[in-house]
Amino acid sequence: MEDKNGNVTQSQKNDSPWNKDHKVTGPVKHEPLFNMNPKQVKFSLWFFFFTLLTIMVINASLGQMKQTDKTISFSEFKQKIENGEITKVRITPKLYYGTSETASNQSKKEAPTIIYQAVPINDPTFVPLMDSHKVDYSAAAEKNPFLMNFLLSWILPFAFIYIIWKLMAGKMGNLGSSVMNFGRNKSMIVAETDTGVKFDDVAGAEESIEELKEVVDFLENPDKYTAIGGKIPKGVLLVGSPGTGKTLLARAVAGEAKVPFFRMSGADFVEMFVGVGAARVRDLFHQAREKSPCIIFIDELDAIGKSRVNVAGGNDEREQTLNQLLVEMDGFDSRSGVILLGATNRPEILDPALMRPGRFDRQVVMDRPDINGREAILKIHVKDVKLADSVDLNKIARATPGFVGADLANIINEAALMAVRAGRKEVRQEDLEEAIEKTVAGLQKKNRLINPKERKIVAHHETGHALTAAFTPEADPVQKITIVPRGISALGYTLQTPTEDRFLMSKEELFCKIDVLLGGRAAEQLIFGEISTGAANDLTRATDIARSMITEYGMSDKFKNMVLTKRGSQFLGPAAQPGMQREYSEATQQYIDEEVARILEERYVRVFNLLKEKKPVLISIAEKLLEVETLEADEFYKMAGVKA
C-alpha cells in the first residue's frame, strides 16, 4: 500500500512478496546466485597460506616444465666445454648451468632442452677456459623475492605462535575465553537418577539418618514447618572419621529428596589467583538459588574453613573464600529451599564464625559403628557377593572393632578376590577372616626366609603375648597365634578380639594392656636369657599407654585428677602437633619420665614372674607353633589349660 505521498507503508514492507495464490503482490527482490551470509563466512588463515604456497610452487615450476636437468661433476662440466658440447653457461651463486648448441637447434622440434648443471668450485682457470673456447657466459644475481622473505620472516613465525597459543588454550579449557571464567564453580549437578543412593543404602548410622530425615521432609513439605513458624537449619555439618560414610549419607539425602545436588570439595574453591575462590562461592550460591529447592554439599570443608585465630601470615585466598562463604550463608534464607551440607573429619580446626548458629546450625556426628552397625554394613556390601552358607557375618562384625564402613567394604572385596584366586565360586568364612588379618597385619610373606634361631625367638615371643593375655582376667581373648611373617616388619603376631565394644577403660584394664604388650619381651628373656629388637613396637605402645595415664587420665599418685598437657606453638596454629610448649616445669617432666619407667618396670616384673610360673606351658606351645606355624583359639586354650 501507498500513503498519500506515494510512500510504501510498514505493513507492505513486512508482507511476503508472494500471496497465498503465488501471485506477486509487491516488488520482487532478486537474490544473488550464491547467498552468502556474512556471519557464516569465516576467514581461514590456513586457506590463505595454502593458496599462496600453491601459487608459488606453480610459478616456480612453469619455466622449467620442458627442461631436463642433468647434474654432473665440475670436472666433467669443464670437459664438455673443451669438447664443445656446452656453448652457453649461466653462472649463479649455487650452480653453473650449461646449454649445448645441439639442444638449442632442436628447440624448434620442441625437443626438451638439455641443461647440464654442476656445483661451482673456486677455479681461477674456469673463466679463461670459457674465453678460449668462445663460450657465451653470463652471471645471474641471487634471487631475493620480497614476498617469500616476508612470508618466512614475518607471517610464518606469527602463524606458528598463533597455532601454539591455540593449542595451549584448548588444553587449558579455551584459555582465551576462560580468563574471565576462573570464577565459575566446578560443582557437579547430580540429579536423583545420578545419586542412586537412598537411606536404606546407609547402615550403622541410624541416629544420623534420623537427623537428616527432617531436612528431606522440609524439602518435600516446607509448608508443614513454615505454618508453625519453624525454620529448618540453614547448614548441617557431618562430622566423623574418614570412611564413616559422610559423603554417602549426603548423596542419600539428595536421593531421598529428589532435588538437584551440588557437590564440591573444599579444595575446588582455592586457586592460585586471589579472589577466584570467593567468585566461585558467589557463583555456586547463585546457581543454587536458581535451582531451588536443592542441596549444596561441600566435602572436606576444612580445606577452606580453617580457623583464622593464631595463624601467622595467613592465606589471603583461603581467607577471602571463607569470608565469602560466611556472607553467603548469612545472605540466604532456609525457606528458599537451599540446604547446605558440609563434611569434615577435623571439626576442631574449623573457624568459630563458621560453626555458630545461623550458619551450620546442626552437627551430625558419624561415629564408628558398633557391632550391630558393622553387621548391617556387611549385609549391605555382600548383596552382590556370593557367600557360602557357612558364613557368619556376626562373627566377622565381632572381629572388626573400630572398623568403619570403608574398611568393611574393603574386607568384603578382598575376600571375594581371595576366593577367585583360590578357584572358588563363592566366598567362605576363611576368606573373610584372612581378609581381616590382611587389613590388620598386612599381606602374608610365606616365602620370606627366616633362620631357625630367629624363628624360635618369634615363636616364644608370640607365645608370651598369648599366655599373658590368657592368664590376665581383663585382657581381650586370643583368637589366633601365628609366626607367618606379614606386612613390612611383622615376623608374627597374636590376634586378640574383644568380646564387646568398649568406650571406657579402667586403670586396671590399662595395666592389663601393658602386661600383654610386655609379655613378648619377658618370654624372650626368660627362655633365651637375652632380649631382641622384636619388641620395639610393643614397647612403644606400652610407653604411650603409661604416659597417657599420667598426663591425660590423671592416674598418677602425685598429680591426681590433673591433666599435664602440652600446647603447640601459636605460630603453627591449633592444628599443630602438641609438644612445642610445656605447661609444666622441668621437675614435673622429670617426674613423668620416672613414673612411666616405674610403671613399666613393675608391670614387666609381674609378667616375667607369671611366665616363669608357666614356663613348661610356654615351651610346649612355642614348639607346637614352630611345627604348625599357626594356632587357632581352641587349640591354644586347650594347651594352656584355660577355658576359652
462 is an active site residue:
yes
- CA separation for the pair 282, 325 (Å, rounded): 8
Measured at the alpha carbon of residue 319, what is the angle toward residues 313 and 320, in degrees to the nearest 5?
130
Q: Please, are residues 98 and 89 in contact by the beta-carbon 8 Å criterion?
A: yes
CB-based contacts of 499, cutoff 8 Å, min separation 6 = 398, 476, 477
Is residue 376 within 8 A of residue 204, CB to CB? The reply is yes
Burial of 68 (0-12, 13-18, 19+ CB in 10 A): exposed
Residue linked to cell 569470608: 323
- What count of Cα atoms within 13 Å lies in the side-chain half-sphere of residue 169? 12
* 555 alpha-carbon distance from chain centroid: 44
Joined together, the cell numbers standing for residue 497 give: 578380639
CB-based contact 442:486 (threshold 8 Å)? yes
Residue in this structure with the C-alpha cell 598437657, named with its chain if needed: 565
SS (HEC) of 67-84: EEEEECCHHHHHHHHHHC
Q: And the C-alpha cell for 147?
A: 614476498
Residue ranges of the alpha helices (H) in 179-233? 192-195, 206-220, 222-226
Closest by CA to 239, choosing from 353, 352, 366, 355, is 366
Dist CA 413 CA 384 (whole Å): 11
Alpha-carbon distance 291 to 99, whole Å?
85
Q: Is residue 317 within 8 Å of residue 271, measured between CB atoms?
A: yes
**Rounded to an integer, what distance in angstroms lies between the CA atom of residue 165 and that of residue 473?**
75
d(CA 403, CA 376): 13
DSSP 93: S
Percent helix, percent strand, percent coil in the chain, to nearest 5: 50, 15, 35
Helix axes 206-220, 246-257, angle to 10 degrees: 30
State the CB neighbour count (10 A cutoff) for residue 74: 14
Sequence-distant (6+) residues with CB within 8 A of 5 are: none
Q: Spot the catalytic one: 462, 500, 524, 627.
A: 462
Please tell me whether residue 492 adopts helix, strand or coil conformation.
coil
Whole-number Å distance between alpha carbons of 405 and 203: 9
Output the CA torsion 289→293→299→304 (10° steps): 30
Show which residues are catalytic: 462
